[in-house]
Amino acid sequence: MADAHELTKTKKSFAAVGIALLVFTVVTVTIGLAPIFDFGPPGPDGMDFVLGLAVATVKASLVALIFMHLNHEKGLIYKILLFTVLFATGLMVLTLFADIDPIREQFDTLQTTRGWLTEKP
């Protein structure tokens, strides 16, 4: 890292990532607000969520890889983070499945109450 050439290169990549992040921010806002991303019927849209999170993930990886220089970090840190992400995902997914159980859903009496609206305005 000490040599000047290397540092200049690093600086350039930092600047490039900064600009990319700004662009992606604009993209995120556009997805949320602009009608061209409304794929379904009028009103709020589930598709926005997927797109918005995808863009956020790209942004997050840019920050992690370049700014936090994970891209040339040692394997040890990768191992720690791998398990962390694994457990965090486990927490999210398993918790969710405990609520929406695929077998129980078939017998769920709540189903009938959930669909209590039958009439149209």
Partner 1 sequence: MSAATAHEHAEAHGGHDDHHEHHDPFWKKYIFSTDHKVIGIQYGFTSLVFLAFGFFLMMVMRWSIAYPDRAVPLLADWPWFQAWLDDGGKVTGDLYNMFGAMHGTIMVFLGIVPLAFGAFGNYVTPLQIGAPDMAFPRLNMASYWLYLLGGALMFVSFFLPSGAAKAGWTNYSPLATTTDLHYGDLFWTGQTQWLVAMALLISSSLLGAVNFICTIINLRCKGMTWMRLPFFVWAMLVTGFLLLLAFPPLEVAAIMQLMDRLAGTSFFVPSGLNVSGMAFDAAGGGSPLLYQHLFWFLAHPEVYVLILPAIAIVAEIIPCNTRKPLWGYKTMVYAVMVLGFLAFIVWAHHMYITGMGPAISTFFQTTTVLISVPSVILITSLLISMWGGSIRFNTPMLFATAFIPMFGIGGLTGLPLAFSLPDLHLHDTYYVIGHFHYVVAPGTIFALFAGIYHWYPKITGRMMSSKLGHLHFWPSLIFMNGIFSPMFFQGMAGFHRRAFDGGKAYEQISQQIFAEPNTFFANIAEMLHVIDADAPLRMIDLNLVTSGSAWLLAVFQVPFIINLFLSVFIGKKVSSDNPWNATTLEWATPTPPPHGNFAKEPVAYRGPYEYSVPGAPRDFTPQFETDPSLTAGSEHDSEPSEEIILSAH
Partner 2 sequence: MEIPYEVTPRRDTGLYNAKLGIWLFLASEVMLFGGLFSAYVFMRLGIQDGVDNPWPWGVSVHKNFVWLGAINTIVLIASSVGVVFAWVALKERNWRRYQIYMYFVVACAVVFMCIKTVEYNSKLNHHHGIKLVDNSVMEGTILNKTDRISFKGEKLTFSLNGALPAVLRDLEGDAFPKFKVTEGPEGTVGVEIQSLSQFKGWFADSRRAASERLTEERKRFRGELAGGAANPKPVSVVSSVTLTAAEPFGLSGSPRKIVAHTETALNYKDGVKVEGKLVNDDVLFEVHEVDLQLVLPTKQRDSVVWSVINDEHAKQQFFTSQSKKYQELLEYYKKHGGVIPEEQLRGRFLNVQYVHVAAEGHEGEHGKEDKHADVHTSQSNPTAGGGEGEGKHGPSKHIAVARDKIKFMGNHGPRYGTYYAIYFTMTALHGLHVIGGALVLLFFVVFGKKLYLKNPEHLANRVEVGGLFWHFVDLVWIFLFPIMYLL
Residue 71 sits in the site that holds partner 2 (CB under 8 A): no
Residue 97 sits in the site that holds partner 1 (CB under 8 A): yes
Q: Give the CA angle between residues 43, 46, 52 to the nearest 5°.
A: 110
Amino acid identity of residue 99, one-letter, is: D
Of 34, 39, 67, 104, the one binding partner 2 by CB under 8 A:
67
Q: Nearest distance from residue 18's CB to partner 1, in Å?
A: 30
Q: Among residues 23 and 68, whose Cβ is nearest to partner 1? A: 68
| Residue 25 contact partner, candidates partner 1, partner 2, none, CB within 5 to 8 A by sort of partner | partner 2
Provide the 3-class DSSP secondary structure of residue 96.
helix
Q: Phi-psi bin for 69: left (phi > 0), alpha (psi -120 to 50), beta?
A: left
Tokens of 44: 């709020």
The rounded distance, in Å, linking the Cα atoms of 91 and 85 is: 10
C-alpha distance from residue 66 to each of 16, 24, 34, 79, 81 (Å): 10, 16, 30, 18, 16
Residue 26 sits in the site that holds partner 1 (CB under 8 A): no
Q: Where on the chain is the footprint of partner 2 (CB under 8 A)?
A: 1-2, 4, 7, 10-11, 14-15, 17-18, 21-22, 25, 28-29, 31-33, 41-44, 48-49, 52-53, 55-56, 59-60, 63-64, 67-68, 74, 76-77, 80-81, 84-85, 87-89, 91-92, 95-96, 99-100, 110, 113-117, 119-121
